[in-house]
């Protein structure tokens, strides 16, 4: 058997802190009282009275339970694997110690069927996050394993109500069961495997998704895109939407007509519902497979709560993230190539220069980052680059493909500085940023969290198709 590079790293890189990967633990070993998350099989209706669809879920539900903490809390979560395959859970957007990051074969051993793993870490940042397996995520996520993870601010902004919308989709056949065609090269090499039924909090979207509101109300809506490939572009008729956070991080509040969420991304918005009692307004999606109307806000007949929008400010307190200083930043470049429609490229697969066609046919790979196509976690190549802890990094990303890619970095937030050379208006912090076809993007961050961190496309089929790598912080 050939000893993969990954195995070598594990046995020889105490410097990276990867040597003693955390392993599954027994129930009895836990000190604190953990919250339990158990993966398993779920049968559920997508609409009231509809046929039962087969899912995988956490604690028997899709989405999984909402995890809720206060900033600064110590989280203690026992994940038990009730599936018949390995898993590992990643806390998307949380700046956790590397060993708690949930990436099989990189930060931990996979959790085998019937085993448990205790994840313990402090939640440093407030915001809207989410959790999902990082093991075969192109299959485990669309099967239903995902949930929202909310960390409240020290002083939450004043609103009348808060809602969480976990958006996703599922591929359902005529008999109402999931189509189990995960990992097809045709999907991997194109826009990803997009479901034919959009879900909002696990229910089929459409007219049955009616949210009652009262005139005069202020609602904070936390949007999470948990779909494996679908990009959402949401609009709410008759109302302005005030964006207050991207990926959980405060941004200068600004009113927009629509919000775009690539897979993995979150947006917190505030909506003042100031229309008349008894009226109805639709939320529509015009993403690249626009789902049309996905929900309605229906004003009740109650009398107005207030006749002017609530005066309280909507700006949320910023988390402490060290700002990169560009003058002293180390520059790095990552070029993305490949895909079905792209010009043929040569990618390095296991050290061999390989043409796109062969990459697809022989290895099921379709994408490269810096000319390298990665297999799944178990046999990954060397990090894209390695830096010293505390280094300031300016990363130029060049999307040389005809597809959009939501790029996600683990363990850190980066500042989105420029798109195609144009400064972004809000210089926002993100953990996942959507690169449109042929775009180039400059982002910067301080590499202050030690370990080997995943950097990958959050179209999970693209990640499985080669678009992933790691950045090592030593
Ligand atoms: Cu949401 Cu690498 O993951
Ligand atoms: Cu991609």
Q: What is the pLDDT of residue 376?
A: 73
Q: Specify the fold of 326-473.
A: Immunoglobulin-like (2.60.40)
Question: Which ligand is located closest to the Cα atom of residue 436?
Answer: 2
- Using one digit for the tens of pLDDT, what is the confidence trace for 220-271? 999 999 999 999 999 999 999 999 999 999 999 999 999 999 999 999 999 9
Task: Say if residue 22's pLDDT is above 70.
Answer: no
Question: DSSP label at 461?
Answer: H
- Cβ-Cβ contacts under 8 Å for 82 (sequence gap 6 or more): 38, 39, 40, 41, 113, 114
CA of 409 to the centre of ligand 1 (A): 8
Distance of CA 448 to the CA centre of its chain: 21
Q: Are 462 and 188 in contact (CB under 8 A)?
A: yes
* Alpha-carbon gap, residue 119 to 410, rounded angstroms: 16
Protein residue with its CA nearest to atom 3 in ligand 1: 92
Residue 408 — pLDDT band, cuts 50, 70, 90?
very high
Q: What is the pLDDT of residue 271?
A: 98
Task: Say if residue 60's pLDDT is above 70.
Answer: yes
Q: What is the pTM of this model?
A: 0.93
CA of 403 to the centre of ligand 2 (A): 7
- Residue 95 beta carbon below 6 angstroms from any ligand 1 atom: no
> Which residues have a beta carbon within 5 Å of ligand 2, which is an ion?
405, 457, 459, 462
Cα R_g (the chain), whole angstroms: 22
Which CATH architecture fits 161-299? Sandwich (2.60)
Task: Say if residue 419's pLDDT is above 80.
Answer: yes
Q: Are 317 and 157 in contact (CB under 8 A)?
A: no
CATH H superfamily, domain 3-152: Cupredoxins -  blue copper proteins (2.60.40.420)
- Residue 454 beta carbon below 6 angstroms from any ligand 1 atom: yes
Task: Say if residue 381's pLDDT is above 90.
Answer: no
Element (H, E) at 358: helix 356-358
- Residue 266 beta carbon below 6 angstroms from any ligand 1 atom: no
* Alpha-carbon gap, residue 436 to 192, rounded angstroms: 15
Among 273, 170, 155, smallest CA distance to 213 is for 273
- Residue 381 beta carbon below 6 angstroms from any ligand 1 atom: no
Element (H, E) at 245: strand 241-246
Q: What is the pLDDT of residue 15?
A: 34
> What integer is the mean pLDDT of 351-380?
86
Please give the number of the atom of ligand 1 that sits closest to the Cα of 103. 2
- Look up residue 445 and give its two tokens: 């961050």
Q: What is the pLDDT of residue 23?
A: 45
Distance of CA 266 to the CA centre of its chain: 8
Q: Parse the chain into domains and list their residue ranges.
A: 3-152, 161-299, 326-473
On average, the pLDDT of the chain sits at: 91
Beta strands in 358-438 (DSSP E): 367-369, 385-387, 391-399, 405-409, 414-419, 422-423, 429-430, 432-435
At 327 the three-state DSSP class reads helix
- Using one digit for the tens of pLDDT, what is the confidence trace for 103-123? 999 999 999 999 999 999 999
- Residue 471 beta carbon below 6 angstroms from any ligand 1 atom: no
Among 11, 22, 15, smallest CA distance to 102 is for 22
Same fold, 3-152 and 326-473: yes
At 378 the three-state DSSP class reads helix
Question: DSSP label at 361?
Answer: I
Beta strands in 178-308 (DSSP E): 197-200, 203-204, 210-213, 217-225, 232-236, 241-246, 249-256, 258-261, 266-273, 280-285, 292-299
Q: What is the pLDDT of residue 29?
A: 39
Q: What is the pLDDT of residue 290?
A: 83
């Amino acid at each position: 058997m050939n000893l993969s590079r990954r195995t070598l790293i594990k046995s020889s890189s105490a410097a990276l802190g990867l040597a003693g990967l955390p392993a599954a633990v027994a129930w009895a070993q836990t000190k604190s009282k953990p919250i339990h998350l158990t993966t398993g099989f779920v049968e559920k209706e997508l609409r009231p009275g509809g046929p039962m669809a087969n899912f995988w879920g956490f604690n028997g539900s899709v989405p999984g339970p909402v995890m809720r903490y206060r900033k600064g809390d110590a989280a203690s979560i026992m994940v038990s694997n009730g599936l018949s395959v390995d898993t590992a859970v990643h806390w998307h957007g949380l700046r956790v110690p590397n060993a708690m990051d949930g990436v099989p074969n990189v930060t931990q051993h996979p959790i085998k069927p019937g085993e448990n793993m205790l994840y313990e870490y402090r939640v440093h940042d407030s915001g809207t996050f989410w959790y999902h397996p990082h093991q075969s995520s192109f299959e485990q996520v669309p099967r239903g394993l995902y949930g929202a993870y909310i960390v409240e601010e020290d002083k939450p902004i004043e609103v009348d109500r808060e809602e969480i919308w976990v958006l996703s989709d599922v591929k359902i056949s005529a008999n109402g069961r999931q189509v189990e065609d995960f990992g097809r090269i045709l999907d991997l090499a194109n826009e990803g495997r997009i479901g034919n039924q959009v879900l909002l909090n696990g229910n089929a979207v459409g007219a049955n998704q009616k949210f009652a509101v009262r005139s005069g109300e202020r609602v904070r809506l936390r949007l999470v895109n948990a779909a494996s490939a679908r990009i959402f572009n949401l609009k709410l008729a008759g109302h302005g939407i005030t964006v207050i956070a991207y990926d959980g991080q405060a941004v200068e509040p600004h009113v927009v007509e629509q919000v775009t969420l690539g897979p993995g991304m979150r947006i917190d918005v505030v909506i003042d519902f100031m229309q008349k009692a008894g009226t109805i307004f639709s939320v529509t999606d015009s993403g690249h497979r626009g789902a049309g109307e996905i929900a309605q806000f229906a004003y009740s007949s109650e009398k107005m709560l207030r006749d002017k929008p609530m005066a309280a400010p909507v700006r949320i307190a910023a988390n402490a993230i060290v700002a990169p200083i560009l003058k002293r930043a180390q520059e790095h470049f990552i070029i993305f190539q490949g895909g079905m429609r792209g010009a043929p490229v040569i990618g390095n697969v296991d050290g061999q220069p390989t043409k796109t066609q062969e990459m697809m046919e022989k290895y099921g790979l379709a994408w490269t980052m810096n000319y390298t196509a990665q297999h799944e976690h178990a046999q990954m190549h060397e990090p894209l680059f390695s830096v010293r802890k505390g280094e300031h990094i300016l990363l130029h990303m060049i999307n040389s493909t005809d597809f959009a890619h939501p790029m996600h970095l683990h363990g850190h937030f980066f500042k989105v500085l420029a798109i195609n050379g144009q400064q972004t208006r809000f210089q926002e912090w993100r953990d996942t940023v959507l690169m449109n076809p042929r775009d180039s993007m400059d982002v910067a961050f301080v590499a202050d969290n030690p370990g080997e961190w995943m950097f990958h496309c959050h179209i999970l089929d693209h990640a499985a198709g080669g678009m992933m790598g790691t950045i090592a912080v030593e």
